[in-house]
Structure 1
Amino acid sequence: MKMTWLIFALCSALSAADKLTRGTVGETARIPCGTRTAGKNLEWKRNGEMVLRKNPRSGAEQRGTSPVSNRATSKRDHLEIRNLEEGDIGHYICEMDGTEHAHILFIISVSASPPGVLQLDSKAKLQCRVQGLQPMPTLEWQRPDGAPGGSGEVLLNPVARTDEGSWACAFSQDGMTFKETLEVKVQGHPVTERVAATPSKTHCSDCTDAALVVSVGATESQPGPMLLGGLSLWIWVAVGVGCLVLLLVVGCVIALHHRNRRPRARRCQGKIHTNRRARKTSQQPLKPKVLPV
């Protein structure tokens, strides 16, 4: 019985000695060894498998066969893992000259569904997930105004203007608090409700008139008018039609003006010819009349 308690206490002490290191997928994770490694035989292990081994004299590195070994590098007093993947999480040990320092690499991630900008009055889900820790810690959301927002998974139904801002997912373990933030943006116009059901009568024993019960149906978003240059599309159509009519009227006036001008010019030319003939006739000398003998 005493031996069982001794083993349990030893395991608890080893577990409590594990230091937590947080990583982010796609970025570079740095796991500190916990002590200076200069001039010592160094070996990094993940879940019992060798990641790399470094000889202090030659500086040569021997890599293991795990996928993380190809992206891991020993730099000074820490292990550096480039382009961190979800499969890289686990229990890491830094061993130097027979002394081991244990670390746990975990990932905390937050996301929104659907991703991107959320539409006002729609449905959305905020998710917070931790990988690499056992037992799983309790995750708590904090709203942009500082109020509690729920745990683990938060459903926004409907999405409101007050949901816009920085949401924080946090948890505490081994006396340390870890937090990841998610920026939420909301756009759109408020949706008006419409009556979808026909009023129905309900009877009661204490009233003479029937009460009308109206159920409100699901809300639908009404698309706003298309805008171009700050004006509605129909206004631009009306302006275009008005300009076209104005051009037609001006063209007709010009055509009528030219048409009425041609007969007048012809009459003027006729009068000019008549006057010229009369002048020629008046200017010719009169011939003397010859009387017969």
Structure 2
Amino acid sequence: MKTIVCFWFVLGALSASGKVLVTKPGQKAILECGVNTFTKQLEWYHEKDLLHRVSHRGFPSKGKGEIVTNSKVKQTKLEIVLVKKEYAGKFICIADENRQEHTLLVASVSVKASPSTELQLGSEAELDCQVEGLDQGSTATWKRPDGSLHSGILKSVDHSDEGDWECTFPSGGETYSQILAIKVKGPTPVPADPTLSQGTTCVDCVTHPPSVTAFLLGLSWWVWVAVGAGCLVVVLLLVFVIILCKRIKKKQGKFQAMKNGRQPLKPKKYCKCDSPAAAAKPQQKRRREKPSALPPQPLLML
């Protein structure tokens, strides 16, 4: 008889232990009461504070606080729309005589480095894992991508630090985790010389890379020779065209000059001066000449 009583007591304790729900700030969380219906009333508590109470007739009543405005009851489930760190802790659901207790853990993982989770090779960084709602004495620990434990403080970032870091924390006899992806940036490698793959060796390629003019734009030498020859041909054509135009103009000038020489001469135009005319010379007095003898007249015939 005592064995049966102990069995039912342990079974009731397990059913009342509830679940552990892990979420992040800003996400949605849904807590189940453990029953689908109730006959008298349904109550949800956060620690000792009343959140929601619903009677069997459907008349709801609410408590006070920010978490009340950010949560609502759907049938028997409690839905938190926007989770905050302050909401972490114990949530208790009482439906008639059934009691269900849940634990909400709000985990936040981040890396403290500049500029972001893409760490520079050789820089310093610190991984931060904060979990609200853990039991007293429980702490979070970091695991490297290879699975080994780590304090989360990186004094000199290496390529081996790249990957998924796992923040683990215990609650209710189980272990939970959150993943933080880390990327490591290193110096840009020097591209290999394509000419070296043809059997040649280069000793100082790293310390003394080839000049930019030798491989400008990545084109081969024969391409640049063809471009230079084309430019030379264009220049010679321009010079030929200029000389030809000058000769044509010169011939046109000679032809015009010959054409103008064949035209009839025009009377010369003298310049009319506006200066006053010279004074007329005085006329000399002419000598009186003796009148010439009259010509002989013919004799009249009677």
TM range (shorter): 0.5 to 0.7
Residue equivalent to 2:140? 139
SS of the residue corresponding to residue 162 of structure 1 reads helix
State the alpha-carbon separation in 2 of the partners of residues 262 and 29 from structure 1.
93
Q: CA deviation at 1:260?
A: 4.8
Residue equivalent to 1:162? 160
Residue equivalent to 2:48? 48
* Alignment CA distance shift 1:40-1:258 (3 Å): farther
State the alpha-carbon separation in 2 of the partners of residues 166 and 139 from structure 1.
16
Residue equivalent to 2:8? none
Residue equivalent to 2:120? 119
Normalization by structure 1: what TM-score? 0.58
SS of the residue corresponding to residue 263 of structure 1 reads helix
* Alignment CA distance shift 1:258-1:123 (3 Å): farther
* Alignment CA distance shift 1:270-1:80 (3 Å): closer
Q: CA deviation at 1:250?
A: 7.6
Residue equivalent to 1:211? none
Residue equivalent to 2:65? 66
Normalization by structure 2: what TM-score? 0.57
* Alignment CA distance shift 1:265-1:121 (3 Å): farther
Structure 2: which 5+ residue stretches go unaligned?
1-12, 190-215, 219-227, 263-302
State the alpha-carbon separation in 2 of the partners of residues 52 and 259 from structure 1.
102
State the alpha-carbon separation in 1 of the partners of residues 26 and 20 from structure 2.
19
Residue equivalent to 1:179? 177
Amino acid aligned to 2:173: G
State the alpha-carbon separation in 2 of the partners of residues 80 and 74 from structure 1.
6
SS of the residue corresponding to residue 185 of structure 1 reads strand
Residue equivalent to 1:31? 31
State the alpha-carbon separation in 2 of the partners of residues 66 and 168 from structure 1.
34
Residue equivalent to 2:96? 97
Q: CA deviation at 1:107?
A: 0.9
Q: CA deviation at 1:157?
A: 3.6
Contact 2:134 2:171 in 1 (8 A): no
2:105 is equivalent to residue 106 of structure 1:
yes
Contact 1:130 1:136 in 2 (8 A): no
Q: CA deviation at 1:93?
A: 1.5
State the alpha-carbon separation in 1 of the partners of residues 135 and 31 from structure 2.
19
CA-based RMSD = 3.8
Contact 1:41 1:55 in 2 (8 A): yes
Structure 1: which 5+ residue stretches go unaligned?
1-12, 192-229, 233-241, 278-293
Query: Which residues of 2 match residues 1-293 of structure 1 at below 5 A?
Result: 17=17, 19-56=19-56, 58-114=57-113, 115-144=116-145, 146-151=146-151, 154-189=152-187, 253=239, 255=242, 258-267=245-254, 269=255
* Alignment CA distance shift 1:189-1:48 (3 Å): same
State the alpha-carbon separation in 2 of the partners of residues 86 and 119 from structure 1.
31
State the alpha-carbon separation in 1 of the partners of residues 256 and 69 from structure 2.
108
Instruction: State the Cα deviation string for residues 113-142 of structure 1 (Å, max 9, x = none).
Output: 233433333333221111111314232222
Amino acid aligned to 1:108: A
Residue equivalent to 2:203? none
SS of the residue corresponding to residue 258 of structure 1 reads helix
Contact 2:35 2:95 in 1 (8 A): no
**Higher relative strand content:** 1
Residue equivalent to 2:209? none
State the alpha-carbon separation in 2 of the partners of residues 72 and 271 from structure 1.
107
